[in-house]
Amino acid sequence: MSAKVLAFDVYGTLIDTHGVVTELETRLSASGKAAQAADFSRRWRDKQLEYSFRRGLMGAYVPFSQCTREALDFTDRALQTELRETDKDHLMEVYARLPAFPETAAALARLDRAGVRCVAFSNGTAAAVEGLLDQAGIRAHFEAVVSVDEVKRFKPDPAVYAHLRQRLEVDPGDTWLISSNPFDVIGARHAGLHAAWVRRSSEAPFDPWGIEPDMTVADLDALAERLG
């Protein structure tokens, strides 16, 4: 068994947060704005993260699902898409069963065979993440789910990464954060962990903060090849 523990971010790293676009197209068709579905999805995700950052700074923690719903309400107003409450409820249900990225299951299986310990590490509550991983068919690859809800903070608060280390009971040098979110990678590196950036778009820039990932990969297959 490898000494390394890989802590995988969930939303945007294992799970495709834009897997809701098809459903958005259907729901936005009533207002004749189905063509805005992709833009709606991007804005929804950006606002979801912004709300978690703002609440973290304010010390006003709420479950991540509330940030998600408030971001949905905001995006609907901003784009004037006039979604009904029933549409929003349905979209939240869809968000709870988003698909994994295509290579996720095979990459995790490869890490399993190599004896690498893996955990899921998310802004989502444990119950939400458990459900998401179960429906995506990948829960069995993780020995545990570590949620920020346990400390009532959001990434990239240093307390969140300290909590991860305490839960894992491993040395910082053996702990790797795996994330497609630069803010998460920087937060982990700042807290003394190793971090790999999953750069899913070749055009995605990394924040110029002088804190770089230990490793950059295009997808989880490439990660498994290097860390498996």
C-alpha angle 69/204/64, rounded to 5°? Answer: 20
- Please list, in sequence order, all residues whose beta carbon lies within 8 angstroms of the beta carbon of residue 27, skipping any fewer than 6 positions away: 83, 87, 90, 91
Among candidates 155, 181, 177, 153, which has minimal Cα distance to 46? 181
- Both tokens assigned to 216: 């950059």
Task: Name the E strands within 23-153.
Answer: 117-122, 144-147
Contact between 53 and 154 (Cβ < 8 Å): yes
Residue from 9, 76, 87, 149 carrying the catalytic annotation:
9
9 classed as catalytic? yes
Cross-strand pairs, 217: 198
Active site residues: 9
